[in-house]
Chain A
Amino acid sequence: MSIALDAPRARRLPTFWMVVFFVILAAFLFVTVVRFTRGLGATTNLSDQFPWGLWIGFDILCGVGLAAGAFTIMATVHLFNIRRFEPIVRPTVLTGYLGYLFVTFALLYDLGQPWRIWHAIVFWNPHSVMFEIAWCVMLYTTVLTFEFLPMVLERFRFERLRRILHNVNTPLVVLGVLLSTMHQSSLGSLYLIVPSKLYPLWYSPMLPWLFYVSAIGAGLGMIIVESYLSGRAFGRELELELLEPLGRAMVVVLAVFGVLRLQSIWHEGALGLIFQPNYEGRMFLAEFGLGVVLPIALLLWRRIRTSQAGLVAGGALAVLGFILHRLNVSVTGLERASGVQYTPSWMEVTVSVGLVAIGFAAFALAARWLPVFPRHGDEAAAHRSGG
């Protein structure tokens, strides 16, 4: 921006990203009207042969997984008592909270009868994985609300309420970890029941484990990416001395995931399919090469891991690989058996992109108005009371 003579003021002008945001928002609102006046058939490329598409594969499966940083970091700081990660707790909880709100909203677009969403509370079927996920997501979103609330209460100085929440923090964190463990793994369990339909490179009885471990890895990757993006947006230094150990933890989690992944393919007797020159083989190599091998290879190097660009690249690759894996399970792996090729319609893409954009905007607003990031004075205070 060449006209930005007064640097601090320049932020007030509509920036490039703000224009992009409002264009996306307009398209998103248009598609919303179409979705809720014309129905799923007019909006999506879904069919009887392919009833679950981008909204399940990306919005739900990836949305929930990418929000896993919240329970991971809450457990690290409050249960394992590794206090030095305290400064990234709030941005991560905020990311997680917005992630679960994103998932809930996306679900309203995907459900054929969204106004009956409450049926899952009243009409039970404990044999259904979907039922269990519905309850866990509902309860965990409530937990996240309480974990997010202190930022609001602190901003508006509701001291007494804040103290009450503070006193129930440990049970809340424990509940959050348990609920997350259950539904993060259950997203994988959704696909246990289609052994005859899901391509052997992705079907495995270990799917719940794979989804649980990959969610933790992606959650850590998201913390790195989100710290980088908010650092850029708010002109803050990246806390490399905090994020570098997260990068190391992520390498370990990715390695565990990689081994589990190869084991699962081995047990399915499908190792030979990896190098088949077909669509599935290529998608697997992309997922595993870009999302597991490459970030591990990069971050094993100390020089790369301790540089901002290297660490952020590693985190972003892990997130990308995670998204590829979940889309492969939910879309690629089911296409052959369905007999049709599914490509999302532009309206499906618009809803997903629009919800992500709204999430980014909400994060920016929250970061501006709420005490999300520690200020320099706060850190001293935290050290003092940390004992």
Chain B
Amino acid sequence: MTYGILFDSTRCIGCGGCAAACKEQNRLPDEIESRTTAYTWTVVEQREGAYVRRMCMHCLSPTCVSVCPVGAMKKTDAGPVDYDPDLCIGCRYCIMACPFDVPKYQWDKLLPVVGKCVMCAPRIAEGKAPACASVCPTGATQFGERDALIREAQERIAREPDRYVDHVYGLEEAGGTSVLMLAGVPFASLDMPGNLPHKPLPQLTWQVLSHLPDLVSVGAVALFGIHWITKRRTYVRAIEGGDRPVEPPTRAEDGGSER
């Protein structure tokens, strides 16, 4: 069973309760900054008269999980993309690669770690909804099973086609996300990325990486073979050329430089 969050922009009144609850739940500094940082994991922004939440989209095949060299990012079965600061080496590949620009860094610290929404993974493990969803006064942020949320979102669009643009954001973007969004204005005007492939992004690197073992085995055989042929060619040429007698290529001579 995998959970998700449905954010309905048309129901959001911009009260910022979600951002405040997030701060409290995750013991972050009180000040809610104007955009997400390593210390502010979610904010409500206004675009063209509509509200939109910035938060981790919790991709089904997360880019950050795929790129992290030490596995500090993990997609849990319940849905959240969780982060283990004790493993992180600070390479910042997740920050660079995330298609939604979600992970942020503690640039001001000497021992920095990444900060990002983790969908309150500990709360979900206890059977509770994430802090933001549990405080939302209008139901704009709603927690539930992802499949049920998709049905709910599609029903809302069908019920009130004038209220919504006909697009459940997160259904297919970057291979699908656990966070889904509905809006009354096009998502591009909410600054949500519109140019994302519908295939999971990690496939782009995996289809190269997964061939490397083949490359190693074939390459090793080919290279040793080339060495064998060129070595023998030199030996034969020396004999046919009637040079002074040369020792046959014994084991000791194998492998090159005669320095």
Check if B66 sits within 8 Å of A123, measured CB to CB.
no
Check if B202 sits within 8 Å of A127, measured CB to CB.
yes
Check if A78 sits within 8 Å of B109, measured CB to CB.
no
| Residue interface mask A203-229, B partner, CB < 8 A = 1 | 001001000000000000000000000
A residues near B91, Cβ cutoff 8 Å:
110-112, 130
Check if A46 sits within 8 Å of B107, measured CB to CB.
yes
Question: What is the minimal beta-carbon distance from A192 to any residue of chain B, in angstroms?
Answer: 5
| Residue interface mask A86-122, B partner, CB < 8 A = 1 | 1001000000000000000000001111101101100
Asked whether A37 and B110 contact (CB < 8 A) given A126-B209, A382-B258, A387-B234, the answer is: yes
Measured in the bound complex, the distance between the Cα atoms of B220 and A386 in whole Å is: 25
A residues near B259, Cβ cutoff 8 Å:
150, 154, 378, 382, 385
A contact residues, range: 35 or more
Check if A120 sits within 8 Å of B69, measured CB to CB.
yes
Q: Does B165 contact A (CB under 8 A)?
A: no
Within 8 A of B (CB), among A166-186: 166-171, 173-174, 177-178, 181-182, 185-186
Check if B256 sits within 8 Å of A41, measured CB to CB.
no
Which B-chain residue is minimally distant from A111 (CB atoms)?
B90
B residues near A75, Cβ cutoff 8 Å:
223
Check if B227 sits within 8 Å of A78, measured CB to CB.
yes
Which B-chain residue is minimally distant from A110 (CB atoms)?
B91
A residues near B233, Cβ cutoff 8 Å:
81
Q: Does B99 contact A (CB under 8 A)?
A: yes
Measured in the bound complex, the distance between the Cα atoms of B90 and A125 in whole Å is: 15
Asked whether A192 and B205 contact (CB < 8 A) given A52-B96, A81-B230, the answer is: yes
Measured in the bound complex, the distance between the Cα atoms of B252 and A174 in whole Å is: 17
A residues near B201, Cβ cutoff 8 Å:
193, 195
Q: Does A40 contact B (CB under 8 A)?
A: yes
Which A-chain residue is minimally distant from B201 (CB atoms)?
A193
B contact residues, range: 35 or more
| Residue interface mask B169-201, A partner, CB < 8 A = 1 | 000000000000000000000000101110001
Check if A117 sits within 8 Å of B95, measured CB to CB.
no
Q: Does B71 contact A (CB under 8 A)?
A: yes
Measured in the bound complex, the distance between the Cα atoms of B226 and A77 in whole Å is: 12
Measured in the bound complex, the distance between the Cα atoms of B79 and A252 in whole Å is: 51
Measured in the bound complex, the distance between the Cα atoms of B201 and A110 in whole Å is: 25
Check if B219 sits within 8 Å of A170, measured CB to CB.
no
Measured in the bound complex, the distance between the Cα atoms of B95 and A334 in whole Å is: 13
A residues near B97, Cβ cutoff 8 Å:
193-194
B37's contact among A48, A51, A174, A186, by CB below 8 Å, is which?
A48
A119's contact among B87, B104, B202, B226, by CB below 8 Å, is which?
B87
A residues near B71, Cβ cutoff 8 Å:
123-125
| Residue interface mask B19-52, A partner, CB < 8 A = 1 | 0000000000000000001100000000000000
Question: What is the minimal beta-carbon distance from B244 to any residue of chain A, in angstroms?
Answer: 9
Q: Does A59 contact B (CB under 8 A)?
A: no
Q: Does B161 contact A (CB under 8 A)?
A: no
Measured in the bound complex, the distance between the Cα atoms of B86 and A335 in whole Å is: 31
Q: Does A20 contact B (CB under 8 A)?
A: no
Q: Does A17 contact B (CB under 8 A)?
A: no
Check if B89 sits within 8 Å of A111, measured CB to CB.
yes
Question: What is the minimal beta-carbon distance from A62 to any residue of chain B, in angstroms?
Answer: 17
Measured in the bound complex, the distance between the Cα atoms of B123 and A208 in whole Å is: 42
Asked whether A113 and B70 contact (CB < 8 A) given A129-B209, A130-B93, A168-B255, the answer is: no
Check if B212 sits within 8 Å of A132, measured CB to CB.
yes
Within 8 A of A (CB), among B245-259: 246, 251-252, 254-259
Asked whether A128 and B105 contact (CB < 8 A) given A178-B220, A195-B197, the answer is: no
Within 8 A of B (CB), among A331-376: 334
Measured in the bound complex, the distance between the Cα atoms of B53 and A169 in whole Å is: 59
Check if B92 sits within 8 Å of A166, measured CB to CB.
no
Q: Does A276 contact B (CB under 8 A)?
A: no
A residues near B234, Cβ cutoff 8 Å:
81, 83, 387
Check if A194 sits within 8 Å of B96, measured CB to CB.
yes
| Residue interface mask B198-223, A partner, CB < 8 A = 1 | 00011011101100100110011001
Check if B256 sits within 8 Å of A128, measured CB to CB.
no
Which A-chain residue is minimally distant from B196 (CB atoms)?
A196
B70's contact among A80, A120, A178, A208, by CB below 8 Å, is which?
A120
A residues near B69, Cβ cutoff 8 Å:
120, 125, 128, 130-131, 134
Which A-chain residue is minimally distant from B234 (CB atoms)?
A81
A residues near B68, Cβ cutoff 8 Å:
125, 128, 130
Measured in the bound complex, the distance between the Cα atoms of B92 and A41 in whole Å is: 13
Q: Does A39 contact B (CB under 8 A)?
A: yes
Asked whether A39 and B206 contact (CB < 8 A) given A166-B257, A167-B255, A177-B223, the answer is: no
A residues near B208, Cβ cutoff 8 Å:
129, 185-186, 189, 192, 208
Q: Does A38 contact B (CB under 8 A)?
A: yes
Q: Does A79 contact B (CB under 8 A)?
A: yes
Q: Does A307 contact B (CB under 8 A)?
A: no
B residues near A194, Cβ cutoff 8 Å:
96-97, 99
A residues near B254, Cβ cutoff 8 Å:
167, 170
A174's contact among B96, B215, B224, by CB below 8 Å, is which?
B224
Q: Does A15 contact B (CB under 8 A)?
A: no
Measured in the bound complex, the distance between the Cα atoms of B2 and A240 in whole Å is: 67
Q: Does A263 contact B (CB under 8 A)?
A: no
Asked whether A123 and B70 contact (CB < 8 A) given A117-B89, A170-B224, A181-B215, the answer is: yes
A-B contact pairs, 9 of them (CB 8 A): A40-B112, A42-B108, A86-B257, A112-B88, A112-B111, A113-B112, A117-B89, A196-B99, A196-B193
